């Protein structure tokens, strides 16, 4: 894919909370238009912090975050009634991440 397909780029981004907890340490990655990405991790691993950096709610301690002009970045909480929570991990990936 061409470099102009990059819509979000983290370049040596570090983020540390005021209490000294390090969330990111010189992280670098690029997300391209059309990519499907799953972010998974334990509680407290930094998933929400990463989204808050992308949304601009948090500022990196160092490094650069690039979001291509004209791109819309949105995070929405999906509420699913408990009785519909029958999807296991394998079924989820098969349903939402088709080749």
Q: pLDDT, tens digit, for every residue of 31-70?
A: 998 887 878 888 888 888 998 898 888 999 999 999 888 7
**Of the candidates 23, 79, 80, the residue with the CA atom closest to the CA atom of residue 54:** 23
Q: What is the mean pLDDT of the chain?
A: 81
Give ∠ CA 51-54-58 in degrees, rounded to 5: 80
Is the pLDDT score of 84 beyond 80?
no
- Which residue, 50, 57, 69, is CA-closest to 10? 50
CATH superfamily of 3-96: P-loop containing nucleotide triphosphate hydrolases (3.40.50.300)
Residue whose C-alpha is closest to residue 32's, from 59, 9, 5: 5
Closest CA to 54 of 44, 40, 42, 68: 68
Chain-centroid distance of CA 34 in Å reads: 14
In this prediction, residue 40 carries a pLDDT of: 81
């Amino acid at each position: 894919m061409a470099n102009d397909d990059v819509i979000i780029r983290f370049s040596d981004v570090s983020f540390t909370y005021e209490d000294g907890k390090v969330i990111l340490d010189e992280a670098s990655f690029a997300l391209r238009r059309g990519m499907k990405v799953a972010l998974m991790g334990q509680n407290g691993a930094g998933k929400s912090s990463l989204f808050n950096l992308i949304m601009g709610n948090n500022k990196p301690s160092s490094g650069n975050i690039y979001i291509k002009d004209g791109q819309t970045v949105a995070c929405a909480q999906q509420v699913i009634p408990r009785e519909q929570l029958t999807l296991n991990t394998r079924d989820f990936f098969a349903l939402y991440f088709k080749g």
